[in-house]
Copies of this chain bind each other. A is one copy, B any other.
């Protein structure tokens, strides 16, 4: 299984999750940073191999086998992230970049060693679920965007979406991290921004866009 195929399958899966909609060639091409033609080629090829359900001009879907492979890669990615963060102390941004490469070059055996070392964890340091060996994805029941928390309710941050250099800076600026306890003070309908209070008593206003990427459970 080549790195290209790995990434192709993985990103169909992720794109499907994130947008909850049809995965198009151009979406995927943008995400993989290759031409749309390259996506068509690969889709047809993996269609023949029974990993992707490919019909010309139609949305891309994984077959059951394709899904299994995608989950395997994602398992490796997220276990590496947690390991590098927890054991070696890498920051959340580096952790993603390293995992992005290591995930393709790690045997199932090594990954299981790492999983055992970590106590078979369910979530990575970004709050994303780590698929099990059998492909079962830990449930994120009750995890909702911060924007759905009502005024005066408390919640615990579970997940910060889309970690990249831009969002990472924002998260750091506001001290947002998984496990943080917040109370929603006010919601401003005007622009969707949300005023929250930290446990230490300090208060800040988060933009609606930022808040929609912060996921939490009600307390």
Tell which of B98, B102, B114 touches A88, judged by Cβ atoms closer than 8 Å: B114
- What are 19 of the A-B contact pairs (CB < 8 Å)? A84-B110, A84-B113, A87-B87, A87-B117, A88-B110, A88-B113, A88-B117, A89-B113, A90-B110, A94-B109, A94-B110, A97-B107, A98-B107, A98-B110, A101-B105, A102-B102, A102-B105, A102-B106, A104-B105
Chain A contact-residue range equals 10 to 19
Nearest B residue (CB) for A113 = B88
Nearest B residue (CB) for A114 = B88
Q: Tell me the number of copies of this protein.
A: 2
For A109, the chain B residues whose CB sits under 8 A away are 94
Nearest B residue (CB) for A101 = B105
Nearest B residue (CB) for A103 = B105
For A117, the chain B residues whose CB sits under 8 A away are 87-88
Alpha-carbon separation in the docked complex, A114 to B84 (Å) = 10
Alpha-carbon separation in the docked complex, A17 to B84 (Å) = 33
Nearest B residue (CB) for A95 = B110
20 further contact pairs, Cβ within 8 A, besides A88-B110, A101-B105, A102-B105: A84-B110, A84-B113, A87-B87, A87-B117, A88-B113, A88-B114, A88-B117, A89-B113, A90-B110, A90-B113, A94-B109, A94-B110, A97-B107, A98-B106, A98-B107, A98-B110, A102-B102, A102-B106, A104-B105, A105-B105
